[in-house]
Structure 1
Amino acid sequence: MSGNLLARSVHDLTAAAWFGGSLMGAIGLNGAASQAQNPAERTRLSSLGWKRWAPVQTVAFASHIMAGIPLMWENKGRMASQEGVTRLSAIKTGVTLVGALVTLYSGILGQKVDRLADQGAAGATEPDPAAPEELKAAQKQLKVLQWTIPFFAGTVIVLGAKHGEMQRPKRVFEGLFKR
């Protein structure tokens, strides 16, 4: 496998892991944990699942970034000469970095919910009405972020597909003459 194909594959697969893992966590893990009989168990089970996923997600992010570096290096000539490539690369990099920060912040909130869950959590993202404000705030944010993260990851995948389309010979030719 050539270096470019390997880097492209790793780059795409790690974005897919981010997307699939975050969507499965929001729908599958948090959804299933919400069915536990005991409210304290709901948060505990969700937290355990997310803790198991966190190292995989961290490796996926690191691999995604590491695979992106040689891809950008290899495409530096196209970035300099083909119209739209630099702009799309900057947008994709920005979306990736903001999405990574949102994912990291979500993990921090998840740790807070795990730590405070015995004070009145009804579920992973559902606070008990009697819960302290700190716990309620963290859970309300997590409820939104669990859907925001797959949006960022999906956007990275779509932008990667757009990059692929821009590499077709016809598109390269058109992009060179638009400059």
Structure 2
Amino acid sequence: MQMTTTDNHAVAQAVHDIGSALWFGGTVMGVAGVNKSGSDLREGIDRIRVAESAWGRFGPVQWLGIGATLLAGAQLARVGGRRMALQKGFGTVGALKAGLAVAGAAATGYAAYCGKMIGRLAEEAHRRGDKVEVRDATLPTPETPSEIAVWQRRQRVTQYLVPVLAGANIACGSYLVQAYRMGATTKGVLRRLLPD
């Protein structure tokens, strides 16, 4: 049985949406749960270790979601090529969505790098016998070694930026899906043909 273009579009849309949900949900869980969970522990080094361990386990799954979002998004753009040319606004939102996906993937990579730096610097300080005092994985205290605190501040910014970018990507995807409705398509084509 040969798949039709509509079937390919449906599969690509499903893969894209599941990947995006995994990416968005995982980053929100990281902000709300993983990075804060260590605050229940007594030692600062353990607070960092818990978060680093959890992110190390979830990282491959998160990158699978990001990869699905990017690859299926490229397939959806290919399938919707004529629509981009004909329907006003479709191409602009599609380009915005692609930019958000790439920026979100880059921010995710940077957040992971920040987490690795926090872990590495904390372990080095611990081996030297320095006390590693932190509130949680991303919140320093006045006693936190300065090189760790710098990376914690960077991590704190990117940990909020990633779900914002991933969520905006999902919102753009919702707009594009709605643009496939007959009324939206007709209106978009007419707006392209009969500009204000």
User: Which TM class, normalised by the smaller chain length?
Assistant: over 0.9
Aligned counterparts of 1:175 and 1:4: Cα–Cα separation in 2: 20
Code of the aligned partner of 1:139 = Q
Aligned equivalent of 2:56, options 51, 73, 80: 51
Match of 1:162 in 2: 175
Aligned counterparts of 1:138 and 1:95: Cα–Cα separation in 2: 24
Match of 1:101 in 2: 106
State which drifts further: 118-127 or 168-177: 118-127
Identity of aligned residues (%): 32
Match of 1:146 in 2: 159
Check conservation: 1:8, 1:67, Cα contact below 8 A: yes
Match of 1:91 in 2: 96
SS in 1 for 2:40: coil
Aligned equivalent of 1:28, options 33, 42, 49: 33
The answer for unaligned runs of 5 or more in structure 2 is: 126-131
Check conservation: 1:43, 1:121, Cα contact below 8 A: no
What TM-score do the two structures reach when normalised by structure 2?
0.87
Q: Deviations over 1:81-131 (max 9, x none)?
A: 100011001111111111111110000000000101243241201224233
Code of the aligned partner of 1:102 = A
Aligned equivalent of 1:63, options 57, 68, 90: 68
What TM-score do the two structures reach when normalised by structure 1?
0.95
Q: Which has the higher contact order (CA 8 A, sep 6+)?
A: 1
SS in 2 for 1:135: helix
The answer for unaligned runs of 5 or more in structure 1 is: none
1:8 aligns with 2:21: no
After superposing on structure 2, the runs of 4+ consecutive aligned residues of structure 1 that deviate more than 4 Å are none
Aligned counterparts of 2:133 and 2:54: Cα–Cα separation in 1: 17
Count of residues in correspondence between the two structures? 179
Which has the greater radius of gyration? 2
For the aligned residues, what is the CA RMSD? Answer: 1.3
1:125 aligns with 2:128: no
User: How far is the alpha carbon of 1:145 from its aligned partner?
Assistant: 1.7
Check conservation: 1:121, 1:135, Cα contact below 8 A: no
